[in-house]
Structure 1
Amino acid sequence: MPEAETPGVRPARPWFRPRRPRPRSRAGEARSQHPPAAAAENGRPDGATPTTPPSPAPPSSSAGRGLELANTVFGGGSFALALMLYAGLLNSAAYYAYFHIDTLAIGFDPIELALTSLRLVTLPVLTILALIVFVAQFLRLLSSLNDSSWVVRSLWWTWRTMTRAHLVIVGVGTILLLEWNRIRPFEWSAPLLIACGLFLGQSAGNARAAARGKFWARTAPLTVAGLFLIWMIALLAGQLGREQAVEDAAHLDRRVEVVVLSTDRLSITGPPGLGTAEDLGKGKHYRYRYTGLRLLVERQDRYFLLPSGFNRDRDPTYVVQDDDSVRIELYPGARGR
């Protein structure tokens, strides 16, 4: 029988409280039921998820642009320097050939040849370069304008017409090549027209140039056009060199006057502009004196001299080696007006 409760007295509590089971998630039950599978999946004995290492930061875009710019400047500078050496050599060869001298015999260094090419920077050359830059920038401007304007449409139509008619330009240049002797001294215009026609044929405005993936369709015409441009530069450099030589020969009195003193007689005789050898007497170390000479160029203690009133068809160019038996005196030439 149950004990009777005493009125006013509370029943005693048990000395322990039973623990209630905690609810488990399904994921926890799966891990507890299959611990080897979880460990095999992540490769760790405790089944923890591995931490993915951070990916390296992508390279800076500014560094890539700087490298690309450096490569462009280096490549363009190397090509420009090689072109300057080539043009300077041809210009100097044509100039000194007028005075019966081989350029290689003088002994110019590459820097001097490159600086000599600056003679080509004349008004026609600057005009052509300015026209090329203008056309390139003008096409870029047209591409950014609204095509709805009739002015822009007319300009684009003109440009596309020129590109489609590139074979006509090449044909005109070829005809000028056949009439080589009649177009002098503008023979350099023939290869220039052919090169321009070939470049126009490969421009984006020509629909026929859309054949991609074929070597002969794009690379071959561009290579031939580059060769014609190099030929044009060679012709222009030679022409300017000859014109400069003729100009200097006509005003030879403006060049430095040279007096040669020697201990023995020299073989400097003949031309009308050359003074007779003056004998200063036996008591002089430098006994013979030669006047009427003008300085053309000096390299490696060798003086290339021209007689006053030089005539290319009859007069020679003298080469005097400066040593102990010769003394060279230089005097200013006449001032040009």
Structure 2
Amino acid sequence: MSDPQESDERSLINTRWQRTLEVLSVIGPPLTVATALLVYFGWARTDAQSKAMGLDVSLFGYTVQDFILRSIQSLFQPLAWLVVIGLLWLMLDRAVSRLLEAARYRKLIHTIATVVLILGFAYAAVMWIVIVTRPGQTVLYAPFLIAAGLLVGAWGLSVRRRAAEPAARALRITPRALERALVFTLVTLLLFWGTSDFAQALGRGAALDYQERSHLLPTAVVYSKERLAVTAPNVREESAGTESAPLFRYTGLRLLVVSGGRIFLLNDGWTLAQGRVVVLPDNGSIRVEYGNPAAD
């Protein structure tokens, strides 16, 4: 015969393992979604910036790691706020759970939860109507607000169920797993939608920022044994060699980025309307000297 105490210990261990797996199953997808959002945000931001500058994002040859690094700086504060809000929500949910242990608060919490779920879903519906009625316009942050309304409404529904009487909860059969999966999928799609709009707005803003602050980019002087025929405005070609050893020097350029085996340069006084992006191979066929813009 097995020892009852040993059986209880095994049951406790199994319960702990089940809870651990549940926690991992909950934490895993958000981490995957967060990584995917970082990559997508970096790509969408770079794509919008490239198009505003008359380029294609594929020219830069960025890797997945490059897109993540380009997105972290812009998403650091929003992600920090999301973590803070998530911690506050967990504290609130635990406080509600402790109040539910007292039977005298169940009816009040049930009523408040009903109001919260109605307001949350109604807010999400109103924001959706706002987007649908403006098909040609981008309502910034609207997808995030819809996702927030859905999460608040879903949480209110969860609290309402927990506040119901045990007998009533036993009679109610709900496909909770399918319900949570649908909410998670919908919120994820809304996050990608909102991330795309936000990233594109930042990308277009970054292109305008280059127009206004191109004089703060590092200076670049290009030396080449062959004439490069650079026709960008304010770029000057000078002969720095001899007839037997020709060498051409190009000034009036600013470094944009070095990526994908290419050097991307802007001309002095670069603008979105009239500027040019000079693309040179980074393979040793040319020599580039970079300088501090403050020395100009």
Where on the TM-score scale, by shorter chain, does this alignment land: which range?
0.7 to 0.9
Q: What CA distance in whole angstroms lies between the structure 2 residues aligned with 1:312 and 1:98?
A: 7
Q: TM-score, length-normalised on structure 1?
A: 0.67
**Aligned length, in residue pairs:** 277
Q: What CA distance in whole angstroms lies between the structure 2 residues aligned with 1:231 and 1:206?
A: 30
Amino acid of the residue matched to residue 254 of structure 2? R
Aligned to 2:64, which of 99, 110, 130? 110
Kindly indicate whether residue 41 of structure 2 is the aligned counterpart of residue 87 of structure 1. yes
Kindly indicate whether residue 17 of structure 2 is the aligned counterpart of residue 64 of structure 1. yes
Aligned to 2:258, which of 286, 298, 301? 298
Q: What CA distance in whole angstroms lies between the structure 2 residues aligned with 1:67 and 1:284?
A: 75
Shift of 1:97: 2.6
Contact kept in structure 2, 1:199 and 1:222, CA below 8 Å: no
Amino acid of the residue matched to residue 151 of structure 2? F
Cα deviation, 1:80-103, whole Å, max 9, x if unaligned, reads 322322222222222333322222
Aligned pairs (5 A) from 1:242-281:
242-271=204-233, 274-281=234-241
Aligned to 1:228, which of 190, 193, 203? 190
| Higher-Rg member (1/2) | 1
Kindly indicate whether residue 157 of structure 2 is the aligned counterpart of residue 195 of structure 1. no
Aligned pairs (5 A) from 1:95-106:
95-106=49-60
Q: What CA distance in whole angstroms lies between the structure 1 residues aligned with 2:187 and 2:217?
A: 41
Cα distance change on mapping 1:285 and 1:133 into 2, 3 Å: farther
For structure 1, the 5+ residue unaligned runs are: 1-51
Contact kept in structure 2, 1:172 and 1:193, CA below 8 Å: no
Q: What CA distance in whole angstroms lies between the structure 2 residues aligned with 1:280 and 1:104?
A: 34
Shift of 1:59: 8.1
Shift of 1:65: 6.8
Give the structure, 1 or 2, with the largest relative contact order (CA under 8 Å, sep 6 or more).
Answer: 2
Question: Secondary structure in 2 aligned to 1:101?
Answer: coil
Shift of 1:73: 5.4
Please name the residue that 1:78 is paired with: 32
For structure 2, the 5+ residue unaligned runs are: 162-171
Please name the residue that 2:169 is paired with: none
Aligned pairs (5 A) from 1:1-337:
58=10, 61=13, 64=17, 68=21, 75-124=29-78, 126-145=80-99, 158-177=112-131, 178-179=133-134, 187-202=139-154, 203-205=157-159, 212-213=174-175, 219-271=181-233, 274-283=234-243, 285=245, 287-323=247-283, 325-334=285-294
Cα deviation, 1:108-128, whole Å, max 9, x if unaligned, reads 122222222202325455435
Amino acid of the residue matched to residue 116 of structure 1? R
- Higher mean C-alpha deviation, range 219-228 or range 102-111: 219-228
Please name the residue that 1:40 is paired with: none
Shift of 1:159: 4.9
Question: Secondary structure in 1 aligned to 2:249?
Answer: strand
- Higher mean C-alpha deviation, range 280-289 or range 108-117: 280-289
